[in-house]
């Protein structure tokens, strides 16, 4: 299931599913990609017109970008060619030149809040500067005034919202359903503005003001429709009687959707997928 939900500075956003799309306050290039037949995999919107859009167009994986920090751009590209693994690449852009980017092999970051930087170096990386298996990221987002959220592939969540986002804090602190798998995007400049996408249970949550907008309602409905479609397709293959074909098809599904659906249907994948939520007590790093 390909989708993109990203909040940018102030009231800018990109919301895209196979069934709906919406964009506000973005460049003509980004708006054109959102409205085109391109499949969006990742969107990052930052201050000063900065953006990065990972997409598949004309059967090719591409990266469109503008006004990115030079260090980040050099990490992403060499001689005009993308050298990162696009399917696993994720980028978040913050204020004052802050960013966090990673793929399945490397991580690049700069000007992070001191608490997040210390958390990454002290907890998440080993002596070789590579991710410890239990701390590799699934979702990282930078918010206003030094706020941040870090979610691991195993589901552990650590965050510091600077006391400016009670609704999101309560969501993260609550005991979740075991199948819950959150992706989170924070607005880099607007306190309290966020989107939670639960790829494990197929629903979206946002702040009260944005929740009432037609754009978010269409995005949420489109995401749910895509989730149900993928779940039904996998269920149908599982009962087709062709075990080898079923396994082959499962490999084509995204890691996150696959993990959640396997848990739903009780398929034991211990040792190959880690989809258990293991929330931590919220820790403030300052």
pLDDT one digit per residue (tens) for the chain, 286 residues: 578 999 999 999 999 999 999 999 999 999 999 999 888 889 999 999 999 998 888 888 889 999 999 999 999 999 888 899 888 899 999 999 999 999 887 899 999 999 999 999 999 998 888 889 899 999 999 999 999 999 999 999 999 999 999 999 999 999 878 899 999 999 999 999 999 999 999 999 999 999 999 999 999 999 999 999 988 888 887 666 555 555 555 455 544 554 544 343 444 444 443 333 344 444 444 3
Straight-line distance from the first to the last Cα atom of the chain, in angstroms, rounded to the nearest whole number: 37
For the record, the structure tokens of 5 come out as 């939900």
Burial code of 44-79, b = ≥16 C-beta within 10 A, e = fewer?
A: bbbbeebbbbbbbeeeeeebbbeebbeebeebbeee
CA 66, 96, 186, 105: dihedral to nearest 10 degrees? 70
């Amino acid at each position: 299931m390909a989708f993109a939900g990203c909040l940018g500075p102030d009231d800018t956003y990109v919301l895209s599913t196979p069934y709906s799309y919406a964009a506000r306050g973005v460049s003509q290039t980004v708006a054109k990609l959102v409205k085109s037949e391109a499949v969006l995999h990742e969107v990052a919107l930052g201050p000063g017109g900065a953006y990065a859009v990972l997409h598949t167009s004309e059967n090719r994986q591409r990266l469109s970008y503008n006004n990115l920090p030079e260090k980040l751009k050099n990490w992403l590209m060499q001689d005009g060619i993308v050298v990162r693994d696009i399917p696993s690449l994720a980028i978040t852009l913050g204020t004052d030149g802050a960013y966090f980017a990673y793929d399945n092999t490397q991580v690049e970051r700069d000007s992070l809040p001191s608490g997040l930087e210390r958390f990454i170096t002290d907890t998440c990386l080993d002596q070789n500067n590579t991710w410890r298996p239990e701390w590799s990221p699934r979702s990282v987002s930078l918010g206003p005034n030094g706020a941040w959220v870090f979610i691991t592939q195993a589901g552990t969540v650590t965050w510091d919202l600077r006391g400016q986002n009670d609704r999101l804090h309560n969501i993260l602190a609550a005991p979740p359903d075991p199948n819950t798998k959150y992706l989170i995007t924070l607005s880099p400049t607007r306190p309290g503005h966020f989107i939670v996408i639960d790829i494990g249970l197929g629903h979206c949550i946002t702040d009260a003001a944005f929740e009432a907008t037609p754009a978010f309602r269409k995005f949420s409905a489109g995401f749910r429709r895509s989730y149900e479609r993928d779940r039904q397709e996998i269920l149908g293959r599982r009962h087709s009687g062709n075990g080898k074909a079923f396994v082959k098809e499962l490999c084509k599904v995204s890691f996150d959707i696959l993990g959640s659906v396997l848990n739903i249907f009780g398929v034991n994948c211990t040792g190959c997928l880690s989809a258990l939520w293991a929330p931590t007590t919220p820790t403030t790093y300052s």
